[in-house]
Amino acid sequence: MPNVSKLITRKMTWHANMTQYNHLGYNAIVKPDKMLSKIDTLFTATRYSQNPFTGLLLKNNKVSWQNDRSWEWDLKGATTRPAVVLSKSETSTQPGRFNTEYRVVLDTDDFMPGDVMTPGATNKKYQSRIMSHPVRRGEGYEYIMQIVTNDPNLFIPTRYLEPGQKWGKLYSTYEEGSEQSGSTQYSSTIMLKNRMSLARKQYKVTGHVVNEVLAVKIPDSKGKLHDMWIKYAEAEYWQQWYRELERLAWYSRSTDVITGSTGFPVIMGPGIQEQLEDSHIHYYTHLTADLIQEFLMDIFYSRVKPGNGRKVVGYTGEYGMLLFHKAMQELVNTTSWFRSGGNFNPAKQVKSDYHTNAYALGYQFVEYSMPNGTTLKLVHNPLYDDTEINFEIDPITGKPVESMRITFLDFVNDKGEDNIVLKKKKNGFSLGYEAGLVSPYGPVNNGLMSHSGDWYQMHVKDEIGVHISDVTRAGELILARN
Percent of the chain clearing pLDDT 90 (strictly above)? 34
Give the pLDDT score at 340: 52
Give the pLDDT score at 3: 44
Give the pLDDT score at 43: 66
Q: Give the residue-averaged pLDDT of 281-308.
A: 84
Q: Give the residue-averaged pLDDT of 351-363.
A: 90
Give the pLDDT score at 80: 64
Q: Which residue has the higher pLDDT, 297 or 37?
A: 297
Q: Indicate the domain borders of the chain.
A: 56-74+193-211+231-482, 83-186
Give the pLDDT score at 407: 96
Q: Which residue has the higher pLDDT, 16 or 144?
A: 144
Q: Which residue has the higher pLDDT, 344 or 312?
A: 312
| Helix (H), strand (E), coil (C) string for the chain | CCCCCEEEEEEEECCCCCCHHHCHHHHHHHCHHHHHHHHHHHHCHHHCCCCCCHHHHHHCCCEEEECCCEEEEEEECCCCCCEEEEECCCCCCCCCHHHCCEEEEECCCCCCCCEEEECCCCCHHHCEEECCCCEEECCEEEEEEEECCCCCCCCCCHHHHCCCCEEEEEEECCCCCCCCCCCCCCCCEEEEEEECEEEEEEEEEECCCCCEEEEEEEECCCCCEEEEEEEHHHHHHHHHHHHHHHHHHHHCCCECCCECCCCCECCECCCHHHHHHHCEEEEECCCCHHHHHHHHHHHHCCCCCCCCCCEEEEEECHHHHHHHHHHHHHHHHCCCHHHHCCCCCCEEEECCCCCCCEEEECCCCCEEECHHHCEEEEEECHHHHCCCCCCCECCCCCCEHHHHCEEEECCECCCCCECEEEEEECCCCEEEEECCCEECCEECCCCCCCCCCCEEEEEEEEEEEEEECCHHHCEEEEECCC
Average pLDDT for the chain: 83
**Is pLDDT of 218 > 90?**
no
* Interval 415-474: pLDDT, tens: 778 889 999 998 888 888 898 998 877 788 888 889 999 988 888 899 999 999 888 889
Give the pLDDT score at 321: 95
* Interval 154-196: pLDDT, tens: 999 999 999 989 898 888 998 888 888 888 776 666 677 888 9
Q: Give the residue-averaged pLDDT of 394-406.
A: 93
